[in-house]
């Protein structure tokens, strides 16, 4: 049942209309919107029945991340800034590996799910684990869209759109500066608290 609930939540999340920022065409959303202001999807933080793999959110104020991050990374992660399209070296990164949150180092994406979206932002078809991201509706551009963030530190990563490749149809449009890339074979760094 919990998986069904999660999928229903994700379906609602993916109903967000497309917008110029991070968008690549004006295709209308395929799903009817069921979300509203303040609607929080449960994609990121629901524990499984056994509790395995559940993410425990950090209780760390954004100000404490400032000393650990570049000004550009801090602006995206904790002030919801958007990096300039085409500015991230990760756009061209094609090696196998893992993309981790640039703040707390939680793995967020597997390179196997990266694809060239043509938007100028690193794009993925799915997160490495749905429990590692949280989502919320974002009204910064007046119309609603779906923001997602690291489920552990709360750092803003990007937005989800529903014009991704089949079969999932999802496009997770991420700010490159909010991610670190760990090539396959290298050890993942310990999570930062
Ligand atoms: Zn994080």
DSSP string, 79-92: H---PPTT--GGGG
Closest CA to 81 of 98, 93, 69, 67: 69
Of 22, 104, 150, 173, the catalytic one is 173
SS3 132: helix
Query: Which two structure tokens, joined as six digits, stand for 51?
Result: 């509790």
Question: Cα(68) to centroid of ligand 1, in Å?
Answer: 12
Q: Measured in Å, how far apart are the chain's first and last C-alpha atoms?
A: 32
Q: Decide if 78 is inside a domain.
A: yes
Question: Cα(155) to centroid of ligand 1, in Å?
Answer: 5
Q: Decide if 191 is inside a domain.
A: no
Question: Cα(133) to centroid of ligand 1, in Å?
Answer: 9
Q: Decide if 188 is inside a domain.
A: no
Question: Cα(28) to centroid of ligand 1, in Å?
Answer: 31
Q: Decide if 192 is inside a domain.
A: no
Q: Decide if 193 is inside a domain.
A: no
Q: Decide if 37 is inside a domain.
A: yes
d(CA 154, CA 7): 21
Residue 103 has a pLDDT of 98
Question: Cα(48) to centroid of ligand 1, in Å?
Answer: 20
Residue 38 has a pLDDT of 34
Question: Cα(187) to centroid of ligand 1, in Å?
Answer: 18
Residue 19 has a pLDDT of 44
**Tokens 């550009």 label which residue?**
72
Overall number of domains in the chain: 1
Residue 137 has a pLDDT of 86
- Identify whether the C-beta of residue 42 lies closer than 8 Å to the C-beta of residue 5: yes
Q: Which domain holds residue 45?
A: 2-183
Residue 24 has a pLDDT of 56
Residue 39 has a pLDDT of 34
The DSSP bridge pattern shows strands 179-183 and 171-174 to be: unpaired
The CATH number that applies at residue 38 is 2.170.150.20
- Identify whether the C-beta of residue 170 lies closer than 8 Å to the C-beta of residue 68: no
Residue 51 has a pLDDT of 59
Spell out the long-range contacts of 31-36 with Cβ–Cβ below 8 A and sequence spacing 24 or more: 31/162, 33/144, 35/137, 35/144, 36/137
Q: Decide if 17 is inside a domain.
A: yes
- Identify whether the C-beta of residue 138 lies closer than 8 Å to the C-beta of residue 145: yes
Per-residue pLDDT of the chain (193 residues; tens, 9 = 90+): 455 544 454 544 444 444 445 655 444 333 333 333 333 333 333 334 445 678 999 999 988 999 999 999 999 999 999 999 999 999 999 999 999 999 999 999 999 999 999 999 999 999 999 999 999 987 776 677 899 999 999 999 999 999 999 999 999 999 999 999 999 999 999 999 9
H or E, element range at 73: helix 71-79
Question: Cα(50) to centroid of ligand 1, in Å?
Answer: 23
Q: Decide if 143 is inside a domain.
A: yes
Considering just the CA atoms, what is the radius of gyration of the chain in Å? Answer: 16
Is 173 designated active site? Answer: yes
Residue 77 has a pLDDT of 98
- Identify whether the C-beta of residue 162 lies closer than 8 Å to the C-beta of residue 30: yes
């Amino acid at each position: 049942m919990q998986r069904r609930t999660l999928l229903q939540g994700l379906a609602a999340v993916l109903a967000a209309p497309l917008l110029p920022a991070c968008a690549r065409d004006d295709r209308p959303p395929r799903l009817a919107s069921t979300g509203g202001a303040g609607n929080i999807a449960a994609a990121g933080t629901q524990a499984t029945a056994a509790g395995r793999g559940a993410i425990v959110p950090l209780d760390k104020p954004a100000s404490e991340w400032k000393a650990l991050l570049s000004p550009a990374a801090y602006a995206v992660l904790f002030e919801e800034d958007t990096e300039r399209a085409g500015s991230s070296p990760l756009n061209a990164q094609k090696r196998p590996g893992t993309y981790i949150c640039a703040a707390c180092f939680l793995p967020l994406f597997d390179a196997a799910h990266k694809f060239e979206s043509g938007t100028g932002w690193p794009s993925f078809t799915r997160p490495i684990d749905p429990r590692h991201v949280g989502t919320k509706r974002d009204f910064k551009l007046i119309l609603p869209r779906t923001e997602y963030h690291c489920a552990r530190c709360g750092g803003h990563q990007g937005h989800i759109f529903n014009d991704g490749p089949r079969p999932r149809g999802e496009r997770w449009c991420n700010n490159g500066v909010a991610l670190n890339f760990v090539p396959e074979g290298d050890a993942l760094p310990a999570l930062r608290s």
